[in-house]
Amino acid sequence: MLTKRIIPCLDIKNGRTVKGTNFVNLRDAGDAVELADIYAKEGADELVFLDITATVEGRKTLLELVNKVAHTINIPFTVGGGIGSVADVSALLNNGADKISINSSAVRNPELITELAQEFGSQCIVVAIDTRLVEGKHVIHTHGGRKPTDLETISWAKEVEDRGAGEILLTSMDTDGTKDGFALELTSTISRNAGIPVIASGGAGSMEHFYDVFTEGYADAGLAASIFHFKEIPIPELKSYLSEKGISIRL
């Protein structure tokens, strides 16, 4: 079994970390650089930064923030939000990001996945998939979860892999922020059919939920936000628990 990863996610708005439920009702969760430093020291395997209200005006702020974080932590981190070109990716990587995450821009222009993978290598291209159950079907949503599309989630996951994505960040909008557990059935379907790692996101509320998503959901990594930000589950305790349960994890 490959080593499973624990990944805190920092949703960034105006340079601060925020957290909501089902993608709305945002509240402040602290200073992004300070949180990143704490998580790195606590043993997080990676970090994900998502500028959830990314705009052209906010790009400079995000670059400065990425640069600060890169000089603070010693673990890989992925940055997403408003990325739509080779130049955007180049700027983020030059400021210390290890990987970048694209979502809306990949849906709008699937060729971008291929272009970025060829330019920078698949290993640093993550495609984020925000999905919600609509009339019995898992449907892709863009623009921070606000816009439903005609894309069916499972077929889109296969397409992004075929186009060169190195990793999928799968977020169930139905479970996001609920703390009722990850979307195990959907995660399992995508993970078992993918030849690239799948990061499960949305719904973590207990240590058992991580165990479930690794064993029943076949995920390669578990991502969460509020349970880490508000110190409900310390990362060292989570990792010890998973290790004791037989999950291969870096302690």
pLDDT above 70 coverage of the chain, percent: 90
At residue 23, φ and ψ (nearest 5 deg) are: 75, 10
Q: Record the pTM.
A: 0.92
Which of 92, 88, 120 is CA-nearest to residue 104?
88
**What three-state secondary structure class fits 188?**
helix
How far apart, in whole angstroms, are the C-alpha atoms of residue 209 and residue 30? 25
Residue 130 a catalytic site member: yes
Out of 45, 51, 88, 130, the active site residue is 130
Out of 11, 45, 176, 220, the active site residue is 11
Write out the E strands in 74-160: 77-80, 99-102, 125-134, 137-142, 147-152
How far apart, in whole angstroms, are the C-alpha atoms of residue 49 and residue 223? 11
Average pLDDT, stretch 97-107?
Answer: 94
Which of 84, 112, 79, 113 is CA-nearest to residue 96?
79
pLDDT of residue 107: 95
Residue 11 a catalytic site member: yes
> pLDDT for 4-55, tens place per residue?
999 999 888 777 777 655 445 556 667 888 889 999 999 999 999 988 665 4
Angle between helices 59-70 and 32-42 (to 10 degrees): 30
Residue pair 224/204 in contact (Cβ under 8 Å)? The answer is yes
Residue pair 67/41 in contact (Cβ under 8 Å)? The answer is no
pLDDT of residue 229: 84
